[in-house]
A = this chain, B = another copy of it.
């Protein structure tokens, strides 16, 4: 049974530990780890570690991973409470706490002590921000895929592009993360043949942003939905992308390539370019 196992090193355990969701620890930890090539990681997130008891359980889990893998796990944490932090740091992991590193310098800068309380927002979540978020999500849903064009006057922006170029997830991300009202409108083969903006879009040209995508990638994505179809053929995808990019140029519509950027990056680039004031921070 042992034969061959020495050829494949055990992935290094990586823990993301937080007194809240762990999302910040994950994001920062991943971007740090992405700087080290050829290291194989086994990620595990432990959220809501907001008592010393839970911190002991997390430390025990880290210690078990250390024993099982034979290497010290990496631990990225965002823990506000000093005792909870010490409890996790007492494990066999190599611990990096993002809070610990900055709260001291900030206290010196403000010449005051921080409150060291977990989840300051754990009371009633700010109703105004919540409403802005929900309203934007509802706007995206009721103005998805060419629906509700009569409501475009209320749009902060309108995304357009061919089928499967990433319009829906980008609209939803803009709503969820920034509270921005984004409609999206699909350009059909007929629209592309006519080589001009459909009449639903034309009056809103200054708020239109175009998505484009690598034709090979588009073909792969479409093949998931309709394998072997003309719709998913590379030839068709190449033609549509050629036409849509020409349309963007002719109409002066800023274009964003979704094949080389994540949804987060596209959404950020669009609101930056649009100069839109976001409703959520």
Query: Which A residues are within 8 Å of any B CB, using their own CB?
Result: 20-24, 26-28, 30-32, 34-37, 39, 43, 47-48, 74, 78, 80, 94, 96, 98-99, 101-103, 105-106, 109-110, 112, 114-117, 120-125, 127, 130-131, 133-135, 137-138, 141, 144, 166, 168-169, 172-173, 176-177, 214, 217, 220-221, 224, 259-265, 267-269, 272, 281
DSSP majority for the A interface?
helix
- Enumerate chain B residues within 8 angstroms of A268, measured Cβ to Cβ: 21-23, 47-48
Task: For the complex, give the distance between the alpha carbons of A266 and B98 in Å.
Answer: 23
Cβ contacts A to B, 30 pairs, < 8 Å = A20-B31, A21-B265, A22-B268, A23-B27, A23-B177, A27-B27, A28-B28, A28-B78, A28-B98, A32-B99, A32-B106, A34-B121, A35-B103, A36-B115, A94-B109, A96-B106, A101-B102, A122-B261, A124-B214, A125-B260, A125-B261, A127-B217, A127-B220, A127-B221, A131-B224, A134-B169, A135-B224, A137-B172, A141-B144, A141-B168
